[in-house]
Amino acid sequence: MLTVDSLRVTYGGAVEAVRGVSMEVPDRSVVAVLGSNGAGKSTLLRTISGTLRLHRGRVDAGTVRFEDTDLTRRDAGQIVRRGVVQVPEGRRIFGRLTVEENLRAGGMGNRDRAAKAKAVARVHDLFPVLRERAGQRAGLLSGGEQQMLAIGRALMASPRLLLLDEPSLGLAPRVIGQIGEVIAEINRQGTAVLLVEQNATMALGVADRAYVLDVGRVSLSGDARELAATDEVQRLYLGHTGDAPVRREDTAPRRTLSRWTA
């Protein structure tokens, strides 16, 4: 589905943020990208979503392909129309608009009324509280509810590939667990997900495959379950040592989705 090949990205022509990254997101999969601050995770998503130039970044080499289309130098609007939609770090909802208006904004590019109605039903099924708060100003929602709205707004575009940039950032542990459940459900409904996260426990629990970025390069990659069991990932990201291996049940979200209501 998505293929990133030997990607190199700089800011200001001097700061190299991504250094020869190659990765793949297969159809109907969840792929996690782990790494510390400054590893290049957000730059990778900006490049895929076409928003890199807004941050004064530049692709110096490599390509990003979505199926048979080269996305490397397309703008964000064209990429959304191809079916690739990003939920940015920090949620970035329209705080002065209502919940309903935010969702309508997410579906503006979709002229098919039936598809819009289906998307609204999907969002309300995943996040019932958004139906309940439809007339409320979005800026008055809690942090968890704002994250629901940011994801719901992206789903209004009916994406085939959803890009999530640090969806657990600043949220309570209970809400982070619910995020993992929702990501798994979105994927079960047929949408592929590229998940950028610092919370490795949640990310590896929902992902099929994972990549670890270190100073702009891929330092580890492989099956998410296998990576979760490696000494390096346990030590750096899961808070375990080689003497205390992580159990799969410690990383996996519950398989039965409890609808996100708070």
CATH code for position 68:
3.40.50.300
Q: Percent of the chain having pLDDT more than 90?
A: 68
Residue 95: inside a domain? no
Residue 135: which pLDDT band, with cuts at 50, 70 and 90? very high
Residue 114: inside a domain? no
pLDDT score for 252: 46
Residue 99: inside a domain? no
Q: Which domain holds residue 226?
A: 1-83+161-167+191-242
Q: Which pLDDT tens digit goes with each residue over 10-19?
A: 998 889 999 9
Q: What is the mean pLDDT of residues 180-204?
A: 94
Tally Cβ neighbours within 10 Å of residue 39: 22
Q: What is the chain's mean pLDDT, rounded?
A: 88
Please report, to the nearest 10 degrees, the dihedral formed by the alpha carbons of residues 168, 169, 175, 181 taken in order. Answer: 0
Q: Which pLDDT tens digit goes with each residue over 109-129?
A: 777 788 889 999 999 999 999
Is residue 84's pLDDT more than 60? yes
| Better-scored residue on pLDDT, 251 or 137 | 137
pLDDT score for 147: 92
pLDDT score for 239: 59
Residue 43: inside a domain? yes
CA distances from 141 to 93, 164, 189, 204 (A): 10, 20, 27, 28
Is residue 94's pLDDT more than 70? yes
Is residue 254's pLDDT more than 60? no
Q: What is the mean pLDDT of residues 56-67?
A: 96
Is residue 25's pLDDT more than 80? yes
Q: Is the pTM higher than 0.85? A: yes
Residue 60: inside a domain? yes
Q: What is the mean pLDDT of residues 88-101?
A: 90
Residue 73: inside a domain? yes
Residue 150: inside a domain? no
Query: Which two tokens mark 80?
Result: 């959304």
Query: What is the domain count for the chain?
Result: 1
- Number of alpha carbons in the 13 Å side-chain half-sphere of residue 8: 10
